[in-house]
Structure 1
Amino acid sequence: MPIASEPAAESVPEYAAWRKGVAGVLAKARRVEIAELPEEPEHLLAETTYDGLTVAPLYTRRDELPEQPLPGAFPFVRGRDATRDVHRGWYVTAPVTSSDAAAANREILFGLENGHSAAWIATGERGVPVEQLPTALAGLLFELAPLTVSAGPAVGAAATRIFAVLDEYKTPDRAAITVALGAAPLTSRFAGVDDAGLPETLILADQAIAREETIRAITVDGTVFHDAGASDAQELGAAVAAGLEYLRALSPGRDIADVLGQLEFRYAATDDQFATIAKFRAARQLWARVAHVCGAPAFGDAPQHAVTSAAMMTQRDPWVNLLRTTLAAFGAGVGGADTVTVLPFDSALPVGELGVSKSFSDRMARNTQLLLLEESRLGHVQDPGAGSWYVEDLTAALADKAWEFMRELEAAGGYTAALDSGLLAERIAETHAARDADVAHRKTAVTGVNEFPNLAEKPLSEAARDSGLSTRYGAAFEELRNRSDAYLAANGARPKALLVPLGTVAEHNVRVTFIANLLASGGIESVNPGPLDVDGIAAAATESGAAIAVLCGSDKRYGTEAGGAVEALRAAGVGTVLLAGAAKAVADLSETQRPDGYLAAKIDAVAALSGLLEKVGA
């Protein structure tokens, strides 16, 4: 909350001067008088997240919140471990999914020798056969490298094998051995993935509690909500609701401290670095509050495992994913995640699609974290975002909104009831639809997909076109590109459109650039002959053979030249003539001189481009 003694903005000379500057820039950009702007014009620069949270353009001491306790103390906003080794930072890990035990063992040990500090192995139907787990784990120093397991329905059998391995393992400090068995019946059910049942998970938790090692049986996997399209608050709120369901199932007859010690959380980290920082800080605050309500605040420090978002990854221009995952890992690290996994940059594509080996992709993912830890030394400071007015405000606001969503699920009867009734899926689907609309209207940029696409990149294989997460942010545009690839394969060239610049470069350049970028995002190649007279326009149309043409110029130029250009294009056989801009620019033209449609900044680009592809037979 704001500090009560903080003076009003109007009485602070620096803030008043900044506000005046903002008003001047906005008035010029909007072509209005300063007096026509709101009293607080800076609010026009604010952004609203999918959770309805407002991100202001400037934060000052007026936004300052009370300082949170140090790491290791309730409510753990600043971190769960007061004595974390700053030279190690967070744990670096990656999933090992090989079905061959010897190969999996080599991969685990190679990773640990080359920068990993934790191991994550899949077993059962997801990886190494359960009976071969001892071979896969041979040589692992359990007290130095925490182990995470993904076993699905085989988690009980996997735990038995792991416990047998641990019984033979000699170490004076058994509590230093950390294992996450990964049972996730509640969140796996949301994702439609087979997992252990809840009764089996409770038995597994009892077995874990009885052991000397630090073993957590349950993983609350929030990434399944994120991958389905959830906002940050929805991901956190649903995860906390699932965690509460586990607590209720486990609590009878068990000590609450032991029960809380059986859960860890997994969340997605995205390339929105500040949102990611706030997410992990808010997540700890939320679970600490649950532990406090349960009467055990000191045990509300469940570990966090960050996995870079699968939904943000792209199949097109996938090398950009290297930058996305770097930002995501940065956000998770600064946010205080205990373990971080960076997905390979080509994880949305079949192995080998780009002509690079799996070992190369894995090395890039591993080195992304090592660069942050070893060269940027990001782990040398605990909670470096603390004290930032923006980060603290966003953390608090996100925690409040996530708690509100959790309470909505609780009011519906709890996590399972909300899942069964469809409420949880419905709420997430609403956010998914809103994000899809923003991407389709290019309000939200996906670099290399709906903005700055590389139309010259190699077409994807059929296997690649049929793979990947359907809720990836750029999926709708990438489907358009798939149609363009199919057209290219069938016709030897991509769908194309003729650009018709009108007037001087100063008049048409902005719209020519905009249209070329827009068309390319749908897999349509632009042909630009440069400014021409009416006869030249007709000749260019005939030469290009394009069935689509787009006029590009200033509104003023449209008033004098668009009509003639439209007639010339139609006479040359162009079936669809469009105009870059709004219909009002040619409102005075006759019906026969008006274009067939308009391509402006706020259109549904997916729908518009899909229609154009249909017109050319793609």
Structure 2
Amino acid sequence: MSKAFPIPSPADWRAEAEKALKGKPLEGLVHLDADHLTIRPLYARANATEAVFAPRASDADGRAWDLRTQVEGDDPEAVNAAVMADLEGGAASVILSGAVLADSEPLGRALEGVALELAPVALDAGLDGPDAANALAVVAKGSPRAKLRFHMDPLTAFAATGGSPRTIEEHLSLAANTAARHAGAYPDATFFLATGRAAHEAGASAGQELGFAVASAVALLNAAVEAGLPIERALAGTVLGVSVDAEYFDSLAKVRALRLIWRSICAAHGHDVPAVIEARSSRRMLAAKDPWPNLLRLTAAGFAGAVGGADAVVLDGFSRAQGRPDAFARRQARNTQLILMEEAHLGRVADPAAGSWFLDHRTRDLAEAGWAEFRRIEREGGLVASLRGGALQQRILAARTTGKQKLADGAVHLVGVTKFVDADVRSVSVEAAPASALAANGDRCPPLTPLRWSEAFEGDAA
């Protein structure tokens, strides 16, 4: 006959915790995060919030999420070889960036042999997004069911570089009109990427990143409706982007929180359109001097994206902080996801975090923090006005300063950088990448300059 285990009460836990602390106050176990949200040492039925269920829409019995790789390059043949290697090696889709996006002719050569009806192709073209979208539409001509992911996202480029060739309103309008022009020909296409990546990479808190992403989505939706795109099609044509890093509990809660916020956005427009979320690994968490521990960080990020319910997960090459990842680094990024998907079976449960008192509480906290930041941005006139005025940048700077201070004080550590440092670092190879072009003077805002947390400890690292 089995014996039931006793269920300890909060009072039982408190007594044991006070004994372990040896006279130190129990309040020392309570922490505030960068959004000034309270993180408690214990979550139980007594302090639980309403349960959260935020699964991805795709079938968990199949390939639960889209294993997406990033291929960058200027030579069409080299890009084609990399794309085919990734797709044949287990990837389901690719993101392209580089000079191959400049015109349909080099892009067509780069996509030679790719079945666009089966393998989604996404673009990362910054402010040149509409031109790249037009090029991809020409390449896909004759394939009306092509799964094109135009990923037009002028606001991220504007915020990160601090400028744009035209006014940012013109860039938004151009992206929206491009979407309206191709919507009929490609019913399975998505048009926009609304992400807080620029904020995240500049040191933003989770709430600030979520607020930026939602404000970006609203700006894109407004431009799309003005261009004549029906709101339901605009909602369905918007992909939400979120950054995931080695802080996997917060990262997976952030993915779930974004799905909750999107429900509110859709409800405000009178529709129920499931969120499509693309999770990309954080670059601010990567180390340059010793890139090998980045493999651990990227695995944690991939875990967070998968368990959090992202529809597509993109992992950088572990050598990214030193330069453009080579074939070996891209293979490692791809295989990391394959192991998470096909050996760890992370996608077999619709929403693995559901029912965890801590993760449900954290999901709601981050959703509320993101919504509060979004409303703050809207009160400032919307994302464009907030960026131009610099108000959002000032809030992100405060979070960035706090994060750097925690590392300097030893409150948090980076494996291989501030703790467990390898004295004999193995070198890695990277591919040459062209220097980024500066934005023209059509419009300006204070830039959200990206950082890496490890920079202050790396000296003359590459």
TM class by shorter chain equals: 0.7 to 0.9
Aligned to 2:366: 398
The residue that corresponds to 2:304 in the other structure is 331
Alignment of 1:264 with 2:239, yes or no, is yes
Matched, 1:26 2:21: yes
Query: Aligned pair 1:95/2:95, yes or no?
Result: no
1:118 Cα offset (Å): 0.8
The alignment status of 1:15 with 2:10, answered yes or no, reads yes
User: Does the residue aligned with 1:251 lie in a helix, a strand or coil?
Assistant: helix
Match of 1:308, as an amino acid?
S
Which of these residues, 29, 44, 53, is aligned with residue 37 of structure 2? Answer: 53
Higher RCO structure, 1 or 2 (CA under 8 Å, sep 6+): 2
Deviation at 1:65, TM superposition (A): 3.3
Does residue 349 of structure 1 match 2:317? no
Q: CA deviation at 1:459?
A: 9.1
Letter in 1 for 2:19: G
Separation of aligned partners in 2, 1:453 and 1:60:
37
RMSD: 2.6
| Contact preservation (8 Å) 1:209, 1:215 | yes
- Give the aligned partner of residue 454 of structure 1: 422
1:306 pairs, out of 271, 275, 279, with: 279
Structure 1 equivalent of residue 4 of structure 2: none
Q: Is 1:476 the counterpart of 2:456 in the alignment?
A: yes
Residues 98, 127 of structure 1: 8 Å contact kept: no
- How many residues end up aligned between the 2 structures? 435
Aligned pair 1:109/2:84, yes or no? yes
The 1:470/1:227 distance shift into structure 2, 3 A limit, reads closer
Q: Which amino acid aligns with 1:188?
A: A
CA distance in 2, matches of 1:104, 1:160: 19
Paired AA for residue 193 in structure 2: T
1:130–1:157 contact (8 Å) kept in structure 2:
no
1:9 alignment counterpart: none
| Residues 174-204 of structure 1: per-residue CA shift (max 9 Å, x gap) | 55x3211121112211011758812211211
Q: How far, CA to CA, are the matches of 1:189 and 1:393 in structure 2?
A: 34
* 1:568-579 alignment runs, 5 A limit: none
The amino acid across from 1:163 in the alignment is A
Q: Residues 121 and 350 (structure 1 numbering): CA distance in 2 closer, same or farther, change over 3 Å? A: closer
Give the conservation status (yes or no) of the 8 Å contact 1:104–1:128.
no
1:482-539 Cα distance to aligned partner (Å, 9 max, x none): 5xx9xxxxxxxxxxxxxxxxxxxxxxxxxxxxxxxxxxxxxxxxxxxxxxxxxxxxxx
Deviation string for 1:136-164 (max 9, x for gaps)? 11221222211101223443333333223
CA contact (8 A) 1:227 1:309 kept: yes
Q: 1:428 aligns with which of 393, 396, 402?
A: 396
Residues 126 and 441 of structure 1: CA distance in aligned 2, closer, same or farther (over 3 Å) = farther
SS of the equivalent of 1:311 reads coil
| Mapped pair 1:377 → 2:377 | no
Tell me the residue number matched to 2:116. 142
Q: CA deviation at 1:249?
A: 2.1
Conserved? CA contact 2:49–2:361, under 8 Å: yes
Identity, in percent, stands at 31
Matches within 5 A, 1:210-609: 210-252=184-226, 253-296=228-271, 298-299=272-273, 301-350=274-323, 358-457=326-425, 471-479=451-459
Deviations 1:212-242 (A, max 9, x none): 4311221113211100111111000011111
Measure how far apart 1:78 and its partner are. 2.4
Instruction: Work out whether residues 65 and 392 of structure 1, in 8 Å CA contact, stay in contact via their aligned partners in 2.
Output: yes
Preserved contact between residue 104 and residue 138 of structure 2 (Cα < 8 Å):
no
Residue 45 of structure 1: CA displacement?
Answer: 1.2
* 1:46 Cα deviation after fit: 2.2
Give, in angstroms, the shift of residue 130 of structure 1.
4.0
- CA separation in 2, counterparts of 1:106 and 1:194? 33
TM-score by length of 2: 0.88
Aligned to 1:185: 154
What CA deviation, in whole Å up to 9, does each residue of 1:539-596 have, x standing for no partner?
xxxxxxxxxxxxxxxxxxxxxxxxxxxxxxxxxxxxxxxxxxxxxxxxxxxxxxxxxx
Q: Which has the larger radius of gyration?
A: 1
Q: Given the superposition, is the C-alpha separation of residues 186 and 309 from structure 1 closer, same or farther in structure 2, using an over 3 Å criterion?
A: same
Q: Are the counterparts in 2 of residues 285 and 399 from structure 1 also a CA contact under 8 Å? A: yes
Confirm or deny that 1:120 pairs with 2:88: no
Unmatched segments (≥5 aa) in structure 1: 1-11, 31-36, 70-76, 352-356, 486-618
Q: Does structure 2 conserve the Cα–Cα contact (< 8 Å) formed by 1:152 and 1:194?
A: no
Query: Structure 1 residue 202 and structure 2 residue 160: aligned?
Result: no
State the secondary structure of the residue aligned to 1:386.
coil
**Aligned mate of 2:107, from 133, 137, 142:** 133
**Deviation by residue 1:96-135 (Cα, 9 ceiling, x = unmatched):** 1121112211211111111101121125x47675421112
Q: Given residue 370 of structure 2, which amino acid in structure 1 is its aligned partner?
A: A
Q: Which amino acid aligns with 1:417?
A: A
* Structure 1 position 166, deviation (Å): 2.5
Stretches of structure 2 lacking an aligned partner (at least 5 in a row): 1-6, 437-448
Q: CA deviation at 1:47?
A: 2.4
SS at match of 2:9: helix
